[in-house]
Amino acid sequence: MSRFSLRYASDLGDGIYAVDTGYIRPQFDACYIITQRAPSSERIAVIDCGTPHSIERILTTLTDLECQPDQVDYIILTHIHLDHAGGAGQLMQLCLNAQLVVHPRGVKHMIDPSMLKAGAIKVYGEEVFTKEYGDFQSIEAHRVIEATDQFMVNLAGRILLCIDTPGHAKHHITIWDQMSRGAFTGDTFGISYREFDTEKGAFIFPSSTPIHFDPKALRASLKKIMLYQPEWIYPTHFSKIGQVPRLYQKLTEMLSHVEDLGISMKKVDNRHELLKIGLLNLYIQELRDQGCQLSDSKIDQLLQLDVELNAQGMGVWLNALQT
């Protein structure tokens, strides 16, 4: 239980709050608020910020936490996909003391989002883009910090360590918080929806969305995260999960299945549709092994968007494979 009355967020302990950004459906997309006590006032870091529509929920949560936007020192992006970074420009305009922390490869796109917009329109189509991400604001260059590997964000003495973790995206960092022994992994450490939790634990699968999916790099990044021996993972999709060694094992197994599926279909006709069927079957089989009781059609409904985007990203990966 939190001592605060939170309308859109849950209290995860250690001064960490998960805000449900409202993107797509409840418990789909999170961003995190970290609060740290300081002599004058609490200082705040926000990790990821959803889309432009999510900003109101972040502000509401700050109010619920009895904080002001000017207490936000850092807005840290795990990567610049728009369900994580789309609202960053708006939030920066409201949090006047904040600096944006982003992977070196993401910097220019946050200052001039035109290429990012064009890329997103290619993935989502013009109509969805305008509806979900239309009001994408640029950020002034002097407010942007490049988070190179091992860059330390100092939030009133609480160190948030930025680790370069490519594989899902080349512009991806994971943020290690020693205080909670937790890793804010964006999409690198897979996707895990709470609807699928069973008594055996959480269901997790790798995200292979376009255009940088690289299983080898992803595997190396997962190993790198495990070196810190995290007790908790805070993925964007969705919220805090424990039993990390088990999750790691499940995730790497699933990644091998995804790779095998892709390679077996590299040259077939109608590849995209077959990849979608193959991915959904893979997810359903794993869910059944874990004792998930939801119907196939409910699982299909909950995973439809992931299946579509993961198959698209696998297509990009397979096209780039030499053999």
User: What long-range pairs does 226-233 form, CB within 8 A, spacing at least 24?
Assistant: 228/176, 228/181, 228/183, 229/181, 230/176, 230/181, 230/182, 230/183, 231/180, 231/181, 231/182, 232/180, 232/181, 232/182, 232/183, 233/182, 233/183, 233/185, 233/189, 233/192
Helix H or strand E encompassing 247:
helix 244-264
55: tokens are: 């900003």
| Minimum CB distance to Zn ion, residue 85 (Å) | 9
Considering only residues 29, 48, 187, 306, which one is a binding residue for Zn ion as defined by CB under 5 A? 187
Q: How many residues line the site for Zn ion (CB under 5 A)?
A: 2
Residue span binding Zn ion (CB under 5 A) among the ranges 64-72, 120-128, 183-191, 219-227: 183-191
Residue range at the interface with Zn ion (CB under 5 A); choices 77-85, 192-200, 225-233, 246-254: 77-85
Give whichever of 24 and 152 is closer to Zn ion, judged by the CB atom: 24
d(CA 56, CA 49): 10
Cβ distance to Zn ion smaller for residue 90 or 209: 209
> Which span (64-72, 100-108, 180-188, 299-307) binds Zn ion, by CB under 5 A?
180-188
Spatial CA neighbour of 80 closest among 139, 127, 151: 139
At residue 260, the 3 state secondary structure works out as: helix
Residue that has been written with the tokens 């077939």 in this structure:
268
Identify which range of 38-46, 47-55, 187-195, 196-204 contacts Zn ion by CB under 5 A.
187-195
Decide if 258 contacts 318 (C-beta within 8 A): no
- Shortest distance in whole angstroms from residue 44 CB to Zn ion: 24
Least distance to Zn ion, CB of residue 79, Å: 6
Q: How many C-beta neighbours within 10 Å does residue 212 have?
A: 22
Local structure of 4: helix, strand or coil: coil
Sign, CA dihedral 309-244-51-137, equals negative
Pick 187 or 259: Cβ nearer Zn ion: 187
Rg of the chain, C-alpha, whole Å: 19
The reply to whether 172 sits near Zn ion by the rule CB under 5 A is no
Nearer to Zn ion, 20 or 187 (CB): 187
- Residue 81 as a binder of Zn ion (CB under 5 A): the answer is yes
* Site stretch for Zn ion (CB under 5 A), options 79-87, 108-116, 136-144, 238-246: 79-87
Round to whole Å and give the CA distance between 165 and 39: 34
Judged by beta carbon, residue 81 or residue 271, the one nearer Zn ion is 81
Tell me if 109 contacts Zn ion by CB under 5 A. Answer: no
* Nearest residue (beta carbon) to Zn ion: 81
Closer to Zn ion by CB, 190 or 262: give it: 190
**Nearest to Zn ion of 170, 181 (CB atom):** 170
Interface with Zn ion by CB under 5 A: which residues?
A: 81, 187
